[in-house]
């Protein structure tokens, strides 16, 4: 769990590996096929979970069936997950590995002598007859379902990326990851990777689409946070390639953690708003490019292309293709240059030609 609030933006193009790391550590039962499915799971956990507050002296570890349980006064006795047992050991300042070497009877006596005393209550989160987490009073919980409810309301066009791997169960990326979905929730935390596959637009002449990561833990494993970005590609191992305008926010689970829900919503809304602005602006530019002539005749168009660094041979071919397609508009010439560039053998030549073609759209934006 992080110890401070973080909010920063990184504009340098970078590759993001957070979703890739999640992919490799998630078991099949932690993967969900849709945002609705993930939300329903988290909502069920929220509805079935109970926060129980007790002073330290009420919490008593007891041996039962060759394991330890945790009795909480009149609330009864509960089993513990590996995570909640780890938290209990930390509260008692006793090594978990050491206790695991002892018999349940001996371990219960050790915890009975080492758990702190005092008047400040502990909070235990239970679901059914199992303790999901146990914390000191300063911990404030933010439920996964509340985060996902916000996402479903304000990021309606965002969906998970393609499933990881090749679908054969033997992906080169590693064993049993071909069903990795980008939507995960396990005993300790939740992670969500969403993109807008229809949100492609141009940023400085290159194509980008919006996406974000969202994470949280109801049991204290990690901070709550979001990372928004614009990306060029997502590979089958869920590495996000060439991301720009990367903004990250995170906060630990203290008294003001619910304020983070408002900040995360603001960042997601901002991403959606910028997507709409860019997409609308791009559409306007394309429409203008389809209406605006690059020149009155072939010679004038070729002069414009030559001044922008396009060779006379390539310019002449592009003009001929554009005329066959219906005219010498900016869009027709750009489309012709792009088609011709795709046939060039040298990759560097193709990239250079594409960049020069795209730069012509700026003429439509200023027209």
Q: Torsions phi, psi of 118, nearest 5?
A: 140, -170
DSSP 211: E
- Whether the per-residue pLDDT at 181 is higher than 80: the answer is yes
Q: Which residues contact 123 (CB under 8 A, 6 or more apart)?
A: 51, 52, 53, 134, 135, 136, 137, 139
> Minimal CA–CA distance to 87: which of 125, 34, 36?
125
152: confidence class by pLDDT, cuts 50, 70, 90: very high
- Whether the per-residue pLDDT at 167 is higher than 50: the answer is no
The residue that leads in pLDDT, 348 or 80, is 80
What are the start-end ranges of the E strands in 166-205? 183-185, 190-195, 201-203
What does the mean pLDDT of the chain come to?
87
Q: Which residues contact 21 (CB under 8 A, 6 or more apart)?
A: none
Count how many Cα atoms sit within 13 Å of the Cα of residue 121 in the half-sphere of its side chain: 10
CB-CB neighbours of 328 under 10 Å? 22
DSSP 125: E
Judge whether 210 and 54 are in contact, CB under 8 Å: no
The residue that leads in pLDDT, 197 or 178, is 197
> Minimal CA–CA distance to 61: which of 95, 108, 93?
108
365: confidence class by pLDDT, cuts 50, 70, 90: low
Judge whether 26 and 165 are in contact, CB under 8 Å: no
Average pLDDT over residues 191-203: 90
* Cα gap 199→317, rounded to integer Å: 32
Q: Residue 315: its pLDDT value, please?
A: 85
- Whether the per-residue pLDDT at 11 is higher than 80: the answer is no
Question: 287-316 burial string, b = 16+ CB within 10 Å, else e?
Answer: ebbeeeebbeeeeebbebbeeeebeeebbe
* Cα gap 297→315, rounded to integer Å: 13
The residue that leads in pLDDT, 323 or 203, is 323
Q: Residue 289: its pLDDT value, please?
A: 80
Q: Residue 174: its pLDDT value, please?
A: 45
The residue that leads in pLDDT, 1 or 86, is 86
Q: Residue 367: its pLDDT value, please?
A: 63
Task: Give the global pTM.
Answer: 0.76
Q: Torsions phi, psi of 161, nearest 5?
A: -70, 180
Q: Which residues contact 179 (CB under 8 A, 6 or more apart)?
A: 28, 31, 163, 164, 165
317: confidence class by pLDDT, cuts 50, 70, 90: confident
At 120-143, the pLDDT tens digits run: 899 999 999 999 999 999 999 999
- Whether the per-residue pLDDT at 160 is higher than 50: the answer is yes
* Cα gap 131→136, rounded to integer Å: 14
- Whether the per-residue pLDDT at 92 is higher than 50: the answer is yes
166: confidence class by pLDDT, cuts 50, 70, 90: very low
> Minimal CA–CA distance to 305: which of 264, 271, 262, 356?
356
């Amino acid at each position: 769990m992080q110890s401070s609030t973080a909010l920063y933006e990184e504009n340098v193009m970078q590759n993001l590996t957070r979703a890739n790391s999640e992919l490799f550590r998630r078991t099949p039962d932690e993967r969900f096929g849709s945002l609705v499915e993930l939300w329903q799971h988290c909502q069920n956990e929220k509805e079935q979970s109970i926060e129980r507050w007790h002073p330290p002296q009420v919490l008593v570890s007891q041996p039962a069936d060759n394991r330890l349980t945790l009795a909480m006064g009149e609330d009864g006795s509960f089993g513990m997950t590996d995570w909640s047992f780890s938290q209990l050991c930390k509260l008692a300042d006793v090594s978990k590995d050491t206790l695991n070497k002892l018999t349940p009877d001996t371990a219960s006596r050790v915890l009975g002598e080492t758990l702190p005393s005092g008047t400040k209550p502990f909070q235990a989160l239970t679901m059914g007859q199992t303790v999901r987490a146990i914390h000191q009073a300063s911990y404030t919980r933010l439920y996964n379902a509340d985060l996902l409810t916000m996402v479903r309301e304000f990021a309606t066009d965002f969906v998970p990326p393609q499933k990881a791997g090749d679908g054969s169960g033997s992906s080169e990326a590693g064993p049993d990851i071909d069903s990795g979905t980008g939507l995960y929730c396990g005993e300790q935390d939740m992670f969500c990777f969403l993109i807008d596959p229809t949100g492609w637009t141009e940023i400085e002449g290159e194509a980008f689409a919006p996406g974000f990561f969202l994470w949280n833990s109801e049991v204290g494993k990690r901070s709550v946070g979001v990372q928004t970005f614009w990306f060029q590609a997502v590979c089958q191992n869920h590495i996000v390639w060439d991301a720009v305008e990367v903004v990250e926010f995170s906060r630990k689970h203290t008294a003001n953690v619910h304020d983070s829900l408002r900040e995360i919503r603001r960042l997601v809304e901002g991403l959606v708003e910028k997507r709409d602005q860019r997409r609308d602006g791009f559409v306007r530019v394309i429409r203008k490019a389809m209406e605006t002539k690059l020149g009155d005749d072939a010679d004038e168009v070729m002069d414009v292309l030559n001044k922008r660094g396009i060779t006379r041979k390539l310019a002449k071919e592009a003009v001929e293709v554009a005329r066959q397609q219906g005219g010498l508009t900016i869009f027709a010439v750009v489309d012709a240059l792009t088609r011709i560039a795709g046939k060039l053998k040298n990759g560097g030549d193709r990239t250079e030609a594409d960049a020069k073609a795209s730069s012509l759209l700026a003429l439509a934006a200023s027209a």
